[in-house]
Structure 1
Amino acid sequence: MSLGSIISLIAAGLLAEGDTYVVRGAELTCSEGSLPSSLNLPQSHGVYIKGKPVMNVADCVVEKNIGLFGFCKKTDEVCQPELCGRWSHGKTDLSIDDEPALLDRATLTCALGGKITITKNGGQD
């Protein structure tokens, strides 16, 4: 799919009802963390919504894409996420840098017992 086609689909909002794409700056929460964190993208994939870079399911590297969540309730120490795989629930028919676009219902699992969810998609003004 060409970049122009991707941009057209995004602009048209072709998503399942209630789903939204996730962009840089999205707010994340871990079920075992004491604080929210944010999703970062040091280098854009080249696709934007309202000037913000769109994320994909591979954007799940600790300290590059995923910040820390304060203190971990499981370890009683500063959060050090140990992620198990990539984000679930990408838009498989819309690739951003050859990976499914990230949707707001996606989750990540931490090996320490936490579930990371997207609480704000980053597109709020």
Structure 2
Amino acid sequence: MASDNEEKYGVIAGTAINETEKGVKDTVNTINQTVTMAERVGGFLKRDIGNEIDWLMLSPEEKAAEKEKEKQEAEAAEAAAQKKKDDDKKAADAEAERIKELQKSYIVHTAAITCSCALHESYVVVPVGHGEFIHGIPQLNVGDSKPEINIRNFGICNSPQNPSVQENAKKIAKDIKDRPKSFTEKVMDFFSKPPEEDVGKDLLKQCVGVCTPMIATEWIDGKEDVLIDGKPALLGKCTLRCTFGGEIKLYTSGQKG
């Protein structure tokens, strides 16, 4: 719908007037924001000066008490930071030890797995066991690597090589291109060639899509001297590679007890 200025002065002149009025309003708003900021800064300065005056009015004993309070607060903060650092180190050490033990463990049905291109964990399963069990749970071998049969999808994938991710990136690029344009952009398009729908690497890295595992190999680094249904037993150190670039690893053994 045409604005009042466009109806009164015509589309081109009216649009120019609208843009000018908008620029004036933006300038006024900027000035108001600057004044408000100055008032706030002035308030901070007043409070700082007030605090300094309050400090000067304290007795030597009160000043000593304040300094002691500040010292105790600083020591408490330092102690809390050190405790967090120590706790983080303990957690990291415990996780490293867990992974070390996992790498030597046999893997069974419903063990958790991770993918470097996924946002969530998934599971490795076996529809029919191979005849070997650990604590009553079917043991797996390196051949249990088939997509959706053994390797359950991870839900969301962020690999730029995934067609689903690429398609979503194209949709975003198209939406950006088709968005309503400002007066300046319209003028620029009039004198230059409009940009094409460009799906760059940066955009792809920020997009996600549906995880559809594409795996054409078996698990790597199984236990060669322990065969499960004729194939090396699956160990926690084994890895798998998705065609879209994701590295799949075991996160748990799946064993209970």
* TM bin (shorter chain): 0.7 to 0.9
Tell me by how many angstroms 1:35 deviates. Answer: 1.1
Aligned partner of 1:20 in structure 2 is 105
Give TM-score, length-normalised by structure 2: 0.41
* Number of residues of Structure 1 aligned to a counterpart in Structure 2: 109
The 5 Å alignment of 1:67-78 reads 67-74=152-159, 75=165, 76-78=208-210
Tell me by how many angstroms 1:124 deviates. Answer: 3.5
1:106 counterpart = 2:238: yes
Gaps of at least 5 residues in structure 1 are 1-16
Aligned partner of 2:142 in structure 1 is 57
Q: Is the 8 A contact 2:142 2:231 kept in 1?
A: yes
| Larger RCO: 1 or 2 (CA < 8 Å, sep 6+) | 1
The one of 124, 142, 145 aligned to 1:39: 124
% identical equivalent positions: 39
The 5 Å alignment of 1:86-125 reads 86-125=218-257
Q: Is the 8 A contact 1:32 1:73 kept in 2?
A: yes
Q: Is the 8 A contact 1:84 1:108 kept in 2?
A: no
Q: Which has the higher strand share?
A: 1
The residue type paired with residue 69 of structure 1 is F
The residue type paired with residue 120 of structure 1 is T
Larger Rg: 2
User: For the residues of structure 2 that align with 1:85 and 1:64, how far apart are their CA atoms?
Assistant: 14
User: For the residues of structure 2 that align with 1:52 and 1:28, how far apart are their CA atoms?
Assistant: 17
Aligned partner of 2:115 in structure 1 is 30
Q: Is the 8 A contact 2:114 2:250 kept in 1?
A: yes
Give TM-score, length-normalised by structure 1: 0.83
